[in-house]
Amino acid sequence: MQSQPLSRLNKPAAAPGAPANISTPAPKVGFVSLGCPKALVDSEQILTQLRAEGYETAKSYEGADLVIVNTCGFIDAAVQESLDAIGEALAENGKVIVTGCLGAKKDADGSDLIQKVHPKVLAVTGPHAVAEVMASVHTHLPKPHEPFIDLLPPQGVKLTPKHYAYLKISEGCNHRCSFCIIPSMRGDLVSRPIGELMIEAENLFKAGVKELLVISQDTSAYGIDVKFRSGFWNGRPVKTHMTQLTEALGQLAAQYGAWVRLHYVYPYPHVDEIIPMMSGGHVLPYLDIPMQHAHPEVLKRMKRPASGEKNLERILKWRQMNPDLTIRSTFIAGFPGETEAEFEYLLDFLKEAQIDRLGCFAYSPVEGATANDIANPVPEELREERRGRVMLLQEEISKKRLQAKVGKTVKVLIDELTPSGAIGRSAADAPEIDGVVYVKKPFEPHKKLAVGQFYDVEITRADAHDLWGAA
């Protein structure tokens, strides 16, 4: 292996108090660091993270289980030196991850330069990509879990029951809805690297998760901040994009016999590409779309990303594409300036859209929200009255839609056992926010209901919120 920085970086001091007797040898990573001081800092950060996670550094190609090459792409000579270093690492070791400036460079025809010259590299990232590099390392050289040393299980600490978990795909939001102060607290959208998400999802499925709930402030916007750049999962490039993420999660869920449920989906046009993925039984035919209102003027005052008519158009189209689709949404009644006509427009929208699961809140001013300055605030009593009217209408809609399920057989994931049987949820029910399915104890003694297992349940009864049936 080469270059002066390499030998320096490859010999970190032994951690004080490190356990002397580790039952499984830690995986070893070789590191070639080229380029300027900025690249050197990137190398240090990657090495620090490797060390923090329990990887060791190797001093030679033969001693390494995998090699990372941090490249430079500044001048032609540096490009050549980087390409040569990658070639050498491939020849000497074979398992190579490339990062750094050259990783971001395209060839004249727009293709990735490194992958064109060295198609055998496992993954390529640009500079300042510690998380992505680590995600690739996790994919190609997973660290064996050491229960006596690692304080955390691979899936991390979870507050949810063992059979379902949330996957947070991004933080922050690029919208500026006038009633919301989240962007001022959490900043603009920052998408998590797709490779890292896929590894987290796989660890969760391996740990027994049967339902993965995708969450964020705006799931449809996933990847916008990084211009939908490609990450890596299982040695192949995957775009940081909601469609590719859903597809990859669906494939993983199919492998583990699990469900994926999408929350906080804004009705951007690419959601149309997600609906066909919902027929396979793993990406659930369920969309949680926070619409908040239907009247175009109210939506404008709310500074919402989508208009009411388009929402209705899309819902009708999606239902044509998949008649099993469940739509959940939240609405605000009595938003500042809402007239009786605007409110009635919302009621008409709800009658047409036939939202399956709906939450409605009376507008409540949040300190710091610009909506507080909008003229003609609706008096509190009227806000509550309008909320009541929405919920009354929804009760009728929900009752009718759930009644249509009586006599059908639905797949149910059991959450809890009860003296009379169990409580579970179907594809139409997200935990905590939607209804449940009460499953009767089976007569046959060999048929036992168990938490975290799926059962086909024949629906015998429904009310406005829940279903009852027998497995």
Q: Which of residues 427-456 bind ligand SF4 (CB under 6 A)?
A: none
Choice between 374 and 464, CB closer to ligand SF4: 374
Instruction: Give the pair of three-digit tokens for residue 234.
Output: 């299982």
Choice between 262 and 439, CB closer to ligand SF4: 262
Cα–Cα dist 44/85, whole Å: 18
Cα–Cα dist 322/319, whole Å: 5
Among 40, 117, 182, 369, binds ligand SF4 (CB under 6 A): 182
Choice between 161 and 183, CB closer to ligand SF4: 183
- Output the smallest distance, CB 314 to ligand SF4, in A: 17
Choice between 181 and 254, CB closer to ligand SF4: 181
Q: Using DSSP, state whether 217 is helix, strand or coil.
A: coil
- Output the smallest distance, CB 263 to ligand SF4, in A: 12
Choice between 175 and 399, CB closer to ligand SF4: 175
Cα–Cα dist 41/127, whole Å: 10
Among 177, 226, 245, 449, binds ligand SF4 (CB under 6 A): 177
- Output the smallest distance, CB 183 to ligand SF4, in A: 5
Q: Which of residues 137-176 bind ligand SF4 (CB under 6 A)?
A: 173, 175-176
- Output the smallest distance, CB 159 to ligand SF4, in A: 22
**Binding region for ligand SF4 (CB under 6 A) out of 110-118, 177-185, 248-256, 399-407:** 177-185
Cα–Cα dist 174/168, whole Å: 16
- Output the smallest distance, CB 349 to ligand SF4, in A: 19
Choice between 175 and 401, CB closer to ligand SF4: 175
DSSP 8-state symbol, 292: B
Start-to-end Cα distance in the chain: 62
Choice between 97 and 213, CB closer to ligand SF4: 213
Among 68, 167, 180, 350, binds ligand SF4 (CB under 6 A): 180
According to the 3-state scheme, what is the secondary structure of 305-357?
CCCHHHHHHHHHHHHHHCCCCEEEEEEEECCCCCCHHHHHHHHHHHHHHCCCE
- How many binding residues for ligand SF4 (CB under 6 A)? 9
Instruction: Give the pair of three-digit tokens for residue 184.
Output: 């001022």
Cα–Cα dist 171/193, whole Å: 12
Q: Which of residues 191-230 bind ligand SF4 (CB under 6 A)?
A: 217-218
Cα–Cα dist 214/289, whole Å: 13
Choice between 178 and 403, CB closer to ligand SF4: 178
Find the farthest-apart pair of alpha carbons in the chain and give their distance in angstroms, rounded: 77
Residue with tokens 């939001």: 173
- Output the smallest distance, CB 215 to ligand SF4, in A: 12
- Output the smallest distance, CB 189 to ligand SF4, in A: 9
Q: Using DSSP, state whether 173 is helix, strand or coil.
A: coil
The answer to whether 390 and 347 have CB atoms below 8 angstroms apart is yes
According to the 3-state scheme, what is the secondary structure of 87-154?
HHHHHHCCCEEEEEHHHHCECCCCCEHHHHHCCCCCEECCCCCHHHHHHHHHHHCCCCCCCCCCCCCC
Choice between 290 and 435, CB closer to ligand SF4: 290
- Output the smallest distance, CB 182 to ligand SF4, in A: 4
- Output the smallest distance, CB 171 to ligand SF4, in A: 11
Among 12, 154, 161, 183, binds ligand SF4 (CB under 6 A): 183
Applying CB under 6 A, the residues found at the interface with ligand SF4 are 173, 175-177, 180, 182-183, 217-218
